[in-house]
């Protein structure tokens, strides 16, 4: 009995020692068994930073030589650790990028400013890379440099006796209208096919204007309010007696004391000026930019004058709970053929949204003008609206949706073009 007990003792101690050894070296072989089968813990995943951009490419569209178009690109750290050692590669002229993001925490965002300033009449493309302690991300850029800004401001079609009539505005880099063009400078095309012949009316007799001056009255523009008020007062005096005008102020909502469209005669101008200085009713901590702009478009569209325009003065920063977007305003204005001119004011301006709204509705965008600059812009806008070329052509194929492109080549070789869609006849 004693011998058997003595023999069992060493075997027990050896097994215990083996178990301790296995724990120290983090696992022992066991006939090919998995780590989970052997009881060892799986290795924790390595935390990584990751860059996700809201736009993989930016197309600036048409920009006149001497002007600068700006876009904001937002990237997000969708990884599990902070993004550090941030850097941007240089896309090269005429593009530029700028942004400072020393550390972007997990789930946080950072903005990059991208600008396009063409120096020649040509198509441009480039790219830049966002680099950090994460896989680099490349963003593609595109834009077209033009010598002239061309906007098809109004389009009319007839399906009974198929005809298309277009009003065209041509301006230089300063936004001043060019009024010396002739038929030889116009190269219209329908869905890519040159239109020949076409009728060229030239500068049309000025139709009466219907203008809705729409001003952001939220607190973010408090510092600019005296300028906006004084120059708006001056603008009213530039209108002819046969024009109509409205003055809308907005913050969370359109001001209840707003002046709807009235004839711009002596009495009407008096009413418009009075409304400039009336008490503003409503919450001014919130700005409903796009819903208010769309309202102004609707009101202008109801005016009988064919020359209908909204002039929006705002920073373009909509912090309301409205579901209306800038794209909704664009679609509404295009459908109702209302031109929108946008003037960006403020310490922070959403230039991209305001520029898009103007560019895609036949207007122009102006950035942070001072009082004298704003007065000059108002005069320019009136001059643009009253100096439009008209062309028309018959027998177009309107059985299917098409696109009208009007390309302008001046006698000095400056070029520009605009394209609008034409709905198919029912």
Instruction: CATH number of the domain at 89, please.
Output: 2.60.40.10
| 398: Cα separation from own chain's centroid | 31
Tokens 């079609």, residue?
Answer: 157
Give the integer Cα–Cα distance in Å for 27 and 310. Answer: 76
169 with 142, same domain? no
Give the integer Cα–Cα distance in Å for 200 and 197. Answer: 10
Q: Is residue 24 part of a domain?
A: no
Give the integer Cα–Cα distance in Å for 276 and 215. Answer: 10
255 with 396, same domain? no
249 with 345, same domain? yes
For the question of whether the overall pTM of this predicted structure is more than 0.85, the answer is no
H-helix or E-strand containing 313?
strand 307-314
Give the residue from 95, 117, 146 where a domain finishes. 146
Burial per residue of 22-54, b for 16 or more beta-carbon CB atoms within 10 angstroms, e otherwise: beeeeeeeeeeeeeeeeeeeeeeeeeebbbebe
Residue of 264, 212, 203, 277 lying closest to 238 (CA atoms): 264
Q: Is residue 4 part of a domain?
A: no
- CATH classification of the domain holding 198: 2.60.40
DSSP secondary structure letters along 86-116: -EE----TTEEEE---S-B-TT-EEEEEEEE
350 with 397, same domain? no
Sort strands 365-367 and 209-216 into parallel, antiparallel or unpaired: unpaired
Sort strands 57-64 and 134-146 into parallel, antiparallel or unpaired: parallel
Give the integer Cα–Cα distance in Å for 315 and 216. Answer: 8
Domain count, the chain: 3
Q: Is residue 271 part of a domain?
A: yes
Query: Mind listing the pLDDT tens digit of every residue in the chain (426 residues)?
Result: 333 333 333 333 333 343 334 433 444 444 444 444 444 556 666 778 899 999 999 999 889 998 888 888 999 999 999 989 889 999 999 999 998 888 899 999 999 999 999 999 999 999 999 999 999 999 999 999 999 999 998 888 888 888 999 999 999 888 889 999 999 999 999 999 999 999 998 887 678 999 999 999 999 888 888 888 878 888 888 899 999 999 999 999 888 778 899 999 999 999 998 888 888 878 899 999 999 999 999 999 999 888 899 999 999 999 998 899 999 999 999 989 899 999 998 878 898 899 999 988 988 898 877 767 888 888 888 888 888 999 999 888 788 889 999 999 999 999 999 998 888 888
Residue 105: predicted pLDDT: 92
224 with 349, same domain? yes
- CATH classification of the domain holding 272: 3.40.50.410
Give the integer Cα–Cα distance in Å for 51 and 353. Answer: 24
Give the integer Cα–Cα distance in Å for 130 and 87. Answer: 6
Q: Is residue 33 part of a domain?
A: no
Residue 44: predicted pLDDT: 64
Q: Is residue 117 part of a domain?
A: yes
Q: Is residue 241 part of a domain?
A: yes
Give the residue from 125, 146, 167 where a domain finishes. 146
**Ramachandran class of 346: left when φ > 0, alpha when ψ lies in -120 to 50, beta otherwise:** left
123 with 216, same domain? no
Q: Which domain holds residue 188?
A: 149-205+388-422
Are 60 and 143 spatial neighbours (Cβ–Cβ below 8 Å)?
Answer: yes
333 with 231, same domain? yes
For residue 377, give the 3-state DSSP assignment. Answer: helix
Q: Is residue 192 part of a domain?
A: yes
Give the integer Cα–Cα distance in Å for 394 and 163. Answer: 4
Torsion of CA 331, 335, 341, 346, to 10 degrees: -20
Residue 279: predicted pLDDT: 84
Give the integer Cα–Cα distance in Å for 173 and 364. Answer: 11
Sort strands 244-250 and 209-216 into parallel, antiparallel or unpaired: parallel
Q: Tell me the chain's radius of gyration from C-alpha atoms.
A: 32
335 with 232, same domain? yes
Give the integer Cα–Cα distance in Å for 128 and 98. Answer: 11
């Amino acid at each position: 009995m004693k011998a058997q007990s003595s023999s069992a003792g060493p075997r027990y101690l050896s097994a215990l020692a083996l178990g301790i050894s296995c724990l120290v070296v983090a696992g022992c072989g066991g006939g090919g068994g998995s780590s989970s089968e052997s009881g060892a813990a799986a290795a924790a995943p390595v935390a990584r930073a990751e860059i996700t951009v809201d736009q993989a490419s930016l197309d600036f569209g048409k920009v006149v030589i001497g002007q600068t178009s700006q876009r904001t690109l937002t990237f997000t750290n969708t990884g599990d650790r902070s993004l550090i050692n941030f850097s941007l590669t240089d896309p090269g002229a005429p593009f530029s990028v700028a942004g400072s993001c020393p550390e972007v925490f997990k789930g946080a965002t950072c903005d990059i400013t991208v600008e396009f300033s063409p120096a020649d009449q040509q198509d441009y493309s480039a790219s830049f890379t966002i680099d950090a302690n994460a896989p680099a991300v490349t963003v593609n850029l595109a834009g077209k440099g033009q010598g002239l800004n061309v906007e098809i401001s109004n389009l009319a079609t007839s399906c009974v006796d198929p005809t298309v009539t277009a009003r065209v505005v041509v301006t230089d880099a300063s936004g001043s209208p060019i009024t010396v063009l002739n038929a030889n400078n116009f190269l219209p095309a329908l869905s890519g096919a040159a239109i020949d012949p076409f009728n060229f009316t030239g500068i049309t007799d000025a139709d009466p204007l219907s203008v809705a001056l729409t001003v952001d009255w939220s607190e973010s523009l408090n510092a600019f309010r005296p300028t906006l008020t004084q120059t708006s007062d001056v603008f009213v005096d530039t209108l002819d007696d046969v024009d109509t005008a409205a003055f809308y102020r907005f913050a969370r909502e359109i001001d209840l004391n707003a002046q709807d469209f009235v004839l711009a005669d002596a009495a009407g101008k008096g009413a418009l000026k009075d409304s400039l200085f009336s008490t503003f009713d409503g919450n001014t901590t919130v700005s409903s930019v796009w819903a208010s702009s769309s309202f102004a478009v609707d009101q202008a569209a109801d005016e009988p004058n064919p020359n209908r325009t909204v002039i929006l003065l705002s920073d373009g920063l909509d912090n309301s709970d409205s579901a209306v977007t800038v794209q909704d305003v664009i679609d509404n204005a295009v459908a109702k053929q209302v031109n929108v001119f946008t003037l960006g004011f403020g310490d922070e301006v959403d230039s991209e949204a305001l520029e898009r709204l103007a560019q895609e509705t036949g207007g122009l965008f102006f950035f942070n003008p001072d009082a004298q600059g704003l007065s000059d812009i108002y005069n320019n806008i009136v001059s643009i609206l009253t100096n439009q070329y008209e062309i028309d052509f018959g027998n177009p194929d309107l059985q299917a949706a098409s696109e009208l492109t009007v390309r302008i080549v001046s006698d000095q070789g400056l070029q520009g073009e605009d394209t609008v869609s034409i709905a198919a006849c029912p």
